[in-house]
Structure 1
Amino acid sequence: MICYIYDGSFEGLLTCIYEAYYNKENPEEILKKEEFIPNLLTKEVYIKSDMNKFSKVYEAIKLKVSPVSLKYVFYVYLSDINGSSNLIYNYVRLGFKLGKNVDLYLHDNRVLKIHMIVKKVTSEFHRMLGFVRFKDIDNKFLYAPIEPDHNITALITPHFTERLRSENFIIHDLKREVASIYDKNGWSITSLPKEYGLRLLYENENGLYETLWKEYFKSTTIENRLNPKLQKMHMPKRYWKFLTELP
């Protein structure tokens, strides 16, 4: 059994697809290096990310399949779901055969699974836009910790660069230890240790804006209209951790 192993980047994943196609191989598995567990039945092939090969596959998906399919591939990559690399590989192979009609084949598991994951990532992406809470850090920058199910930091950041153009801010995914950093001119994704964020939260636990927001939330609450069941349905409890207004 052939297993392609890559560095976990999107560039690395598309490089794997390039190598499989031009080497006329059909790897049974494509895994991120942290997912791979060595065994005697697997032939390990380590694939090094190559920007030229990545670009060729990227453009091929966009032109020979569709820009929408390319978006789906990226969203599934961001899902961080185990086995997502295999799903993408099989979906792209089918896409090269069927062209732009590939997404009509929902009876095919290779397509259906992609659509199901895209729906989950898209849903969390839109939901998270309303759940991000910023803290003012010494009047220098705004800081927002998040712990989403999927790796959506890069998806939500453009929304906040539009809303907070005159502010410096950091959106920090503590689970993955990555952050988007905006400096009024542009933004980028970088690695950032979880400990950094926890220290900021501890040192700025009860800032002025947090206190005002809690008071506003409390004053506008209508006690006899509280509906915890409905609240949890629209605002799942796993997102409550960093909501300033909740205890």
Structure 2
Amino acid sequence: MPLKPVRRPSTALVTAASRRPGAPALTAPPRDYTYDGTFEGLLTVLFTVYDWRAAPNSIQPEATAQTGLFAQPAHRETDEALATRVWEGLLKTMDPEARVRLYHVFLSEDADRELLIFRYVDLALRSVQDIAENYANADVRRVQRLAQQMFREKHRMEAFVRFEKTSDELFHATIEPDFDVLPLIAAHFTKRYADQRWLIYDRRRHYGLYYDLTRTDVVQFEVDRPGMKATDLAATVLDEREPLFKVLWQAYFDHVNIPERKNMKLHRRHIPLRYWKYLSEKQPREQRFVPINNKRPPTDANLRLE
């Protein structure tokens, strides 16, 4: 009697299953979790969810938490050791690129970001295969979409930041991005402007990045004064040559412009209107644009000797 072949699971599935720790069943009553609003705090909450076996009804920053009348919020203090343990443990269920996407989702400030990150992690823990390209799942699609939006915003900030030089040799720039991208652009500006002191201030979130020629630090700012314009910077603080630099930049922008190829619809697509208030070339002209005379072909009158 011939023997029937035994079907064995593929090597890929065996490898994936062996490296995935799995997740315990969340059998305890659901809880409303609060944390300090930091990414490390959220990772601490993720550890607590599985430690307590209690799924989250909600996960909210403590400062803005809204709970039901009879809800019992479970606040978790940030534990750096537990946060590191969770962050490193995520590599057992996802590749480094997918893990970074979770950090980008957190920086997106999406209203549902905490629960979205939990659902994504929980799905990864309970799946035998990698879920990064499982676009049939709504949470996977949402994570991917937010990560793409963060990438576009990061790229735009790296291109659209305009510095002003102050009298003490500090280059200052103000931004107001849709997402919290300062942590993502720090490495770019630290590398590109390593020979000068600079400060990039996020006016919407009231903090900034400061580079002092040796390292880049996060610095906190007080709330802006009422009535203060987005681009206000005291004239006495600026370098005396700064207005000239602005005029030169605007002149350069005007001279490289080709009016016959003007396409404002395409222009707004690449440089949205919300960025214009921080771009020197989009500010009112302090000097009227005059074409450069030496670009015109010579005439007999120009060549006539006196």
Compute the TM-score of the two structures, normalised by the length of structure 2.
Answer: 0.76
Aligned runs of 1:60-209 on 2, under 5 Å?
A: 60-98=89-127, 101-195=130-224, 201-203=233-235, 204=238, 207-209=243-245
Code of the residue aligned with 2:57 in structure 1: it is E
Q: Does 1:218 align with 2:217?
A: no
C-alpha separation in 1, matches of 2:66 and 2:276? 35
Deviations 1:109-149 (A, max 9, x none): 12111111111111111122111111111142101110001
Determine if contact 2:182/2:209 at 8 Å carries over to the other structure.
yes
Code of the residue aligned with 2:243 in structure 1: it is G
Code of the residue aligned with 1:35 in structure 2: it is T
Q: CA RMSD in A?
A: 2.0
Structure 1 residue aligned with 2:62: 33
Deviations 1:43-64 (A, max 9, x none): 2111111101101101111233
Determine if contact 2:171/2:197 at 8 Å carries over to the other structure.
yes
> Gaps (5+ residues) in structure 2?
1-29, 284-306
C-alpha separation in 1, matches of 2:265 and 2:130? 41
Shift in Å, 1:172:
0.8
The alpha-carbon distance between structure 1 residues 100 and 200, as it changes in their structure 2 partners (threshold 3 A), is farther
Q: 1:236 aligned to 269, 272, 282, which one?
A: 272
Code of the residue aligned with 1:191 in structure 2: it is Q
The alpha-carbon distance between structure 1 residues 77 and 172, as it changes in their structure 2 partners (threshold 3 A), is same
C-alpha separation in 2, matches of 1:192 and 1:200? 15
Higher mean C-alpha deviation, range 196-205 or range 51-60: 196-205
Q: 1:43 aligned to 46, 66, 72, which one?
A: 72
Higher mean C-alpha deviation, range 137-146 or range 98-107: 98-107
Deviations 1:55-85 (A, max 9, x none): 1101111233221221011000000111101
Specify the SS of the correspondent of 1:68.
helix
Structure 2 residue aligned with 1:23: 52
Determine if contact 2:44/2:79 at 8 Å carries over to the other structure.
yes
Determine if contact 1:136/1:209 at 8 Å carries over to the other structure.
no
C-alpha separation in 2, matches of 1:207 and 1:95? 54
Specify the SS of the correspondent of 2:204.
coil
C-alpha separation in 2, matches of 1:131 and 1:5? 36
Shift in Å, 1:210:
1.7
Shift in Å, 1:201:
2.1
> Gaps (5+ residues) in structure 1?
none
Determine if contact 1:66/1:100 at 8 Å carries over to the other structure.
no
The structure richer in helix per residue is 1
Specify the SS of the correspondent of 2:73.
strand
C-alpha separation in 1, matches of 2:243 and 2:192? 21
User: Of the two, which has the highest radius of gyration?
Assistant: 2
Shift in Å, 1:3:
1.2
Deviations 1:179-211 (A, max 9, x none): 011111111222123539968624349633222
